[in-house]
Structure 1
């Protein structure tokens, strides 16, 4: 049985479906058919504007965000697809905190639905710090179908690990 590291927490019947698609060589086709597009958010400036528009729509009263960027150093292997941080600096006699959202650079080339999922996930951390029920309810509110997208994103990462990054869905 092929270990599926990104899908380890999911029920075995779902893992078996993915293994079947892998064995039949149809996983890339499945993803390309389900997610045929590629987003146009290619620069850090465009990602910031995109993120701020989502924040304004759903989280007006949440703390502000100072920086949003694609980060080529995020380690997908440690499940860091996106990252939200608060960097504290001393300025004069005061402590200033700057909130940042970093998105793994591999999402420059991904389907728009996957970018939506990552940005929504990181924005939800502005309100809910833990991955609890309230966190996932907020994600689902901002992006209906969030949980299916999270699963499919993990399938996409599995496909990439199998060498699928040379023929990305949507190209």
Structure 2
């Protein structure tokens, strides 16, 4: 049986469907049909603009974001698709927290829906720190099909690791 590390928390019946697509060598075809496009947010500057526009649209009262960038050091194997951090620095006599969002650089070549899902996830952490009910409600408020996109993103990550996938569609 093929281990599906990104899909372990999902029902066995769903995992079996993914295994069947893998066995038929049709998982890449499934993804290409559902997500045929690639986004054009390629630079850190464009990612910052993209993220702040989403924040302005959905989370106007959330703390500001000081930095957004693609990070080649984020390891999707360790489940870090994106990171939100608050870097504390002393400026003058005050302690300031700089909010940063980092997105794994593997998503430079992903579908726009996957980038959107990751950015929404990291933005939700500006208001909710834990992955609790309120966090996921906020994610679905910003992106109504959040849960389907999260599942499909996990399927995409599974596909990327298959021998012969080339890591990209």
**TM above 0.5:** yes
Query: Displacement, 1:110?
Result: 0.2
Match of 2:108 in 1: 108
Match of 1:162 in 2: 162
Which deviations, in whole Å up to 9, do the C-alpha atoms of 1:90-130 show, x marking residues without a partner?
12221111000000000000000000000000000001111
- What stretches of structure 1 move > 6 A for 4+ residues in a row? none
Match of 2:73 in 1: 73
How far, CA to CA, are the matches of 2:164 and 2:65 in structure 1?
34
Q: Is the 8 A contact 1:76 1:104 kept in 2?
A: yes
How far, CA to CA, are the matches of 2:29 and 2:167 in structure 1?
10
Number of matched pairs: 169
How far, CA to CA, are the matches of 2:64 and 2:133 in structure 1?
23
Match of 1:59 in 2: 59
5+ residue gaps in structure 1?
none
**TM-score, normalised via structure 2 length:** 0.97
Q: Is the 8 A contact 1:66 1:100 kept in 2?
A: yes
Q: Is the 8 A contact 1:37 1:112 kept in 2?
A: yes
Q: Is the 8 A contact 2:161 2:167 kept in 1?
A: no
RMSD: 1.0
Q: Is the 8 A contact 2:37 2:112 kept in 1?
A: yes
Match of 1:92 in 2: 92
Match of 2:20 in 1: 20
5+ residue gaps in structure 2?
none
Say whether residues 1:38 and 2:19 are aligned partners: no
Tell me, what secondary structure is at the counterpart of 2:38? coil
Match of 1:50 in 2: 50
Greater relative contact order (Cα < 8 A, sep 6+): 1
Q: 1:20 to 1:100 in 2, by over 3 A?
A: same
Q: 1:71 to 1:164 in 2, by over 3 A?
A: farther
